[in-house]
Chain A
C-alpha cells in the first residue's frame, strides 16, 4: 500500500477512444500531482492541484487532456480521442506524509496502451 491508489492499473484502448484514470490518496493532502512516464524516461510533469483548484498545466497537456479534483480529495485524468503517442504510465503523487522536505509519494500508476 503506497498511500496513493490508482485505478485501473492497466488500460488498453483503441486509438480514438476516451479513457479516464482515477487517483485516490489515502492520506489527505491539499496538493496532488499528475506525471507521465514513457518507457525508459523519467516522469514528466503534467498538472497539479491545490485542493480542488488546478494551479498549473504543462504544455504536454493538450486540449485532449483534462484533469479534475472535484472535492479536493480524489482526482481524475481524462484523455479524449486517444493517440498512440499517449501510451505511457500515468502517475499520481502527493507530498509524502510524515516526511520532512516533502518528497513526492507516487502511486503505482496506470499503464495506458493505445493500439
Chain B
C-alpha cells in the first residue's frame, strides 16, 4: 500500500484565494511526522511545514497551515492568500517512527498553478 497518497495531480487557484492540497497517509506506527515540501520549476526542494503525530494543535507557518485529522489519516496543506510565486509542485511526506533520522516517504505531488 502507498504510504502517502496525493490525489490531486493538478490544482488551479486564483491569486489571493486560499487553496487546500490533499494528503492521506498510511502507517501503523503511533509515532510519525508529516512534512510538506515545495518544489518550484527550478527544482530545489523547500521544506514548508511539519506536523508530529502527537501534536495537539495544527501546525502553522506564515501563510501555510496543516489541517491534521489523525483519525482520518489526513494532513492537508492550506495555503492562504495565494501568490503567483506559490505556483510549484507540492509534496507531502511522512517519516515513521520516533527517530528524527528515519527515511521519508513522499507522495506523487500536486502541481499548483496560481492564476493572476
- The residues of A with any CB-CB pair to B shorter than 8 Å are 2, 31, 33, 35, 40-45, 48, 50, 56, 89, 91, 93, 95-96, 99, 101-106, 108-109
Contacts and interface: CB of A to CB of B under 8 A. Distances in A.
Interface of B: 4, 6, 33, 35, 43-45, 47, 50, 52, 91, 93, 100-101, 103-109
Q: Binding site of A, secondary structure by majority: helix, strand, loop or mixed?
A: strand
Contacts, number: 55
B35 A89 contact: no
Q: Identify which of A31, A99, A101 gathers the most chain B CB atoms within 10 Å of its CB.
A: A101
Contacts of B4: 42
Given A43-B91, A101-B33, A101-B100, A91 B50 contact: no
A33 B91 contact: no
B44 to A, nearest CB: 6
Given A103-B50, A105-B47, A95 B101 contact: yes
Contact of A104 (B44, B47, B109): B47
Nearest to A9: B43
Given A89-B43, A101-B50, A103-B47, A41 B108 contact: yes
